[in-house]
Structure 1
Amino acid sequence: MKVKNYLFQAIDWIVLDTILKKDTTKDIWDAMKKKFEGNARFKRSHLQALYKEFETLEMRSGEGVTEYFSRVMTVANKMRIYGEDMQDVKVVEKIVFSLIEKFNYVVCSIEESKDIDVLTVDELQSSLIVHEHKFQRCNGEE
């Protein structure tokens, strides 16, 4: 009864109405798990949609490095939530190969000087931000 009481206190009123008829705490827990976790088919379909979104991501013209990294990491983190083993190296490769043309020489120098397999997302982002600031400074001087 104590556990049931704690669950009722922690649950939102809207959800509470749907589980009030459950007799045991296990029934309550299973109903909530099913409601919020979803079934395997839902997870799989949502993960497939996220795969498609991840594969089609590209940096937009005029978009900043920080904004692009934020978009990519949002999708990658959603995929991780749904159980996908999204390695940093996959995210780094995605970002490196989907940057706009003005970063081509930066990408070449990163590929030559660093091993992309061990490059972290944060290292890549900081390197690209430095080059982005140089672009902005050069354009401001012109």
Structure 2
Amino acid sequence: MADAIFPRIMGASTTKEAWDTLQDEFQGTVKVSTVKLQKLRRDFENLKMKDNETAKDYYYRIREIVNKMGAYGEIIYDKKIVEKILISCTEKYDALISVIEETKDLDTLSLTELMGSLEAYETASEEKDTWYLDSGCSNHMTKNESIFCSLDKSKTRVKIGNGDFKEAVGKGSIAIDTKKGKRYINDVLLVPNIDQNLLSVGQMIEKG
């Protein structure tokens, strides 16, 4: 930049004329930077998570803009990024965010803690949507109460595929997505202490 300005001030006949040239150059640079920073601010404010975008990918998009803002002298602290993520995630995170807002101190919630919660929630959601056929378990069963269309709370013991017995705390109907569309399954047990969603082959045959 200095090499570009020097030829312009060489012809200045007075110090004031040279200073005015430098000032014009500086103000022009500041104006360009201000315009670019304003655009980045708008991009940051308007940023929202895309459908089917992971929390990590969304965070990377936010961080890219924040880093560019930092290059123009504006520092965005983690607290503001936390607030941004909480208000701009897609609806599938609503249940988790409600819990976070009710149980956490948002003034001290770290970005690392928030991202850990979001990623763990994604993993749990993926598991919730996966079902396994099991020829050894006596009943359909799941640990995810949120997927029941109807649920009657009652306790009973149920046998799982490895021969162990677990306590079921309710029975009801669920809806699952299949290649042929949504299907409803009745008499599904709510078993908090299992690792997977299980469809009993015996029960399916019995129900036709």
TM-score by length of 2: 0.50
Partner of 1:140: 130
Q: Does 1:66 align with 2:66?
A: no
Partner of 1:129: 119
Q: Does 1:118 align with 2:118?
A: no
- Distance in 2 (CA, whole Å) between partners of 1:60 and 1:52 is 17
Q: What whole-Å deviation, never above 9, does each CA across 1:86-124 have from its counterpart, x for those lacking one?
A: 121111111100000010010011111111111121111
- Distance in 2 (CA, whole Å) between partners of 1:76 and 1:105 is 27
Q: Does 1:83 align with 2:73?
A: yes
Equivalent pairs, count: 115
Whichever structure has more helix as a proportion of its residues is 1
1:1-142 superposed matches below 5 A = 19=3, 39-141=29-131
Partner amino acid, structure 2, of 1:98: S
Displacement of 1:19 in angstroms is 4.1
- Distance in 2 (CA, whole Å) between partners of 1:47 and 1:19 is 26
Instruction: Give the structure with higher Rg (CA).
Output: 2
Structure 1, unmatched stretches of 5+, are 1-14, 23-33
Structure 2, unmatched stretches of 5+, are 7-24, 132-175, 177-208
- Distance in 2 (CA, whole Å) between partners of 1:107 and 1:94 is 12
On the 8 A contact 2:47/2:88 being kept in 1, the answer is: yes
Partner amino acid, structure 2, of 1:65: A
Whichever structure has more strand as a proportion of its residues is 2
Identity, in percent, stands at 34
Partner amino acid, structure 1, of 2:35: S
Partner amino acid, structure 2, of 1:110: I
Partner amino acid, structure 1, of 2:85: I
- Distance in 1 (CA, whole Å) between partners of 2:32 and 2:110 is 31
Displacement of 1:80 in angstroms is 1.7
CA RMSD of aligned residues (A): 2.6
On the 8 A contact 2:66/2:75 being kept in 1, the answer is: no
Higher relative contact order (CA 8 A, sep 6+): 1
